Amino acid sequence: MNPQEAKEIFEEADLICSAEESALAVRRVAAEITARLADANPLVLAVMGGAVVFTGQLLPQIIFPLDFDYLHVTRYGDVTTGGQLEWIVKPRSTVEGRVVLVVDDILDEGVTLAEVSRRLLTQGASEVLCAVFADKNIGRTKPITADFVGVHLPNRYVFGYGMDVKGAWRNLPAVYAVKGL
């Protein structure tokens, strides 16, 4: 997508969650994670690239020891509908015997997060918890539920706060929905 197309999408988009609401949601999630995991010394795994904004805002608000790593998986590539899960980067850290907190941008259909959690448990994680900035209401049961959720979103094509529209607008401090979708 060229810059002009990205600007047009943004200019026509509907604001779904303001920057202020986003910041408050992250603060609340950080407090919930702290209450649950302060004594666990968890391994925090960010799911790249969508989780970079949420993770970057969340980690400084979690005041207890933890280890950090990342993984990169995708079901989308350059398309907007999910396909086969592809592991681009596996975590370097061992998960065996660890409490693992997976941090992601959005729980959409839940297929990717469910597979990541399954794989980490297969690799010996003692517990896998999931924190997502957004949980999208898709109107049907998902294969996984997040343990920590920042905001709940309608079933629309959203972008901002780590989520992209054809590669653009991950950097926005708020969440928008593409007009008409």
Residue 105: active-site member: no
pLDDT tens digits, the chain, 181 residues: what are they? 899 999 999 999 999 999 999 999 999 999 999 999 999 999 999 999 899 999 999 999 999 999 999 999 876 555 555 567 788 999 999 999 999 999 999 999 999 899 999 999 999 999 999 999 999 999 999 999 999 999 999 999 999 999 999 999 999 999 999 997 6
Gap between the Cα atoms of 34 and 31, Å rounded: 5
The pLDDT value given to residue 180:
78
User: Which residue of the set 108, 135, 147, 164 is catalytic?
Assistant: 108
Question: What are the sequence ranges of the domains in the chain?
Answer: 3-177
Q: Please report the pLDDT score of residue 75 as a whole number.
A: 67
The structure tokens listed for 176 are: 């928008």
Residue 181 CB neighbour total at 10 angstroms: 13
Alpha helices in 38-142 (DSSP H): 52-58, 111-122
CATH of domain 3-177: 3.40.50.2020
